[in-house]
Amino acid sequence: MDEFIAYLKQYINLSDEAEKDILNLALFESIPKGHLLLKEGKTCERLYFIVKGTIRTYHYQKGKDITYWIYPENSMITSWHSYILRKPASEYIETTEDSTLISLTYNQWQEVYLKYPKLERFGRIILEEQMALIDDFFKGYYFLTAKEKYKLLTTAFPTITQRANLGHIASMLGISQETLSRIRGK
């Protein structure tokens, strides 16, 4: 739990009382590789912090598994559209390594936001960071070559290519595994 509290404190000054309440509400889980945290059609109830492991988000298009994103340790993850708007998800969330996660439900976050308004700042900043990252990645993504896409990924997340499945990385970048292998070989 220390990692999660340290993560929060990067963004806000957290009182001892707020820290205690968050720790009392938080769910600490060890999840095996390949576990689905969310299935398409279900409303995402939790915002997760990855203490250890990696997680990917993906959907099916024409029967093919397409990876949206791969999240490493010290990341916050959820199905943002489903979680925020309280609507069924159009994606899946899966652990891609044995993972240790800390999470609170949407309603629990709402409670702590009301009780500790400083935490609302944390929620806003996390959302802003996620939106900026996604916006930056996808704006450039459509205009980049396969090699440039891979370089962008390795710059943003240097360790992800050693840990994530190459098929998932290729899918996320919109390239074939063969192309990814050639790029990595150079």
> Domain boundaries in the chain?
2-143
What tokens appear for 181 in the block? Answer: 């292998």
**What would the pLDDT profile of 147-179 be if each residue is shown by its tens digit?**
888 888 888 777 777 788 888 888 888 888 888
* Cβ neighbours around 106 below 10 Å, total: 17
Please give the distance of CA 75 from its chain centroid, rounded to a whole number: 6
Q: How far apart are CA 164 and CA 71, in angstroms?
A: 10
- Quick check: 138 pLDDT over 80? no
Is pLDDT at 140 greater than 70 in this prediction? no
DSSP state of 175: S
The single-letter DSSP state of residue 42 is: S
Q: What is the pLDDT of residues 20-44, one digit of tens each?
A: 999 999 999 999 999 999 999 999 9
Say how far apart CA 182 and CA 147 lie, in whole Å: 9
- 2-143 CATH: 2.60.120.10
Q: What does the alpha-carbon distance between residue 18 and residue 87 come to, in Å, rounded to a whole number?
A: 29
Mean pLDDT of 118-135: 87
